[in-house]
A and B are shown apart, each in its own frame.
Chain A
């Protein structure tokens, strides 16, 4: 059974700092890994999707890496801003069918202080 862990559970940083969020998974047989952002009381917004054959994906100030063999992914946020404050979740997709489930981590709650 796939298990996804995110460390740390909460993180508080000053504005402008570069930061790394971590995601680890127990079964390396994944199809992709997705990072999401969730604002309080809202749904999840997809940030980046990394296919199992890829090593990293970039979008603006965000960079996500994937090391499938070691069961790890990191989300790097450059020059953090107060608007980046949110909960960040990672999810891995396993299984062969398109209906296969995603397994979510419990998220890292990020606070960027002005």
Chain B
């Protein structure tokens, strides 16, 4: 069976510090991978998605970047965090066929102080 791991679960970082959130998927190959951010009030915003190694599509210009160094690994980064980067970050994956369900990790609660 397929599983998705996302860590850390919570993170408190000062403004201006770097960020690295990691997500890995097991039990499948060549998944599509996604980073979402969920602000207070429940809305989900797609930040990045990737259909293969080294292929990153950015949905929203911002202080963040993403990389996919391996087939089942997706990393969300920032060189210098802003207060507005605080939120709940969710990694998700689906099989690379357009009618597959999307599956989420447990999320990372990021607080920038």
Residues in chain A within 8 A of chain B (CB atoms): 31-32, 34, 36, 38, 41-46, 49, 51, 87, 89, 91, 93, 95-102, 104, 106-107, 109
- Given A41-B109, A101-B59: A96 and B98 within 8 A (CB)? yes
Tell me, in angstroms, the Cα distance from A107 to B109 when the chains sit together.
19
- Given A44-B90, A45-B104, A96-B98: A101 and B49 within 8 A (CB)? yes
Q: In whole Å, how far is A39's beta carbon from the nearest beta carbon of chain B?
A: 10
Once the chains bind, are A98 and B97 in contact (CB under 8 Å)?
A: yes
Residues in chain B within 8 A of chain A (CB atoms): 6, 32, 41-44, 46, 49-51, 57, 59, 88, 90, 92, 94, 96-107, 109
| Cross-interface CB contact of A34 among B42, B43, B102, B105, cutoff 8 Å | B102
Once the chains bind, are A43 and B90 in contact (CB under 8 Å)?
A: yes
Tell me, in angstroms, the Cα distance from A44 to B100 when the chains sit together.
16
Of all chain A residues, the one with the shortest Cβ separation from B57 is A99
Tell me, in angstroms, the Cα distance from A109 to B41 when the chains sit together.
11
Once the chains bind, are B44 and A89 in contact (CB under 8 Å)?
A: yes
Of all chain B residues, the one with the shortest Cβ separation from A96 is B98
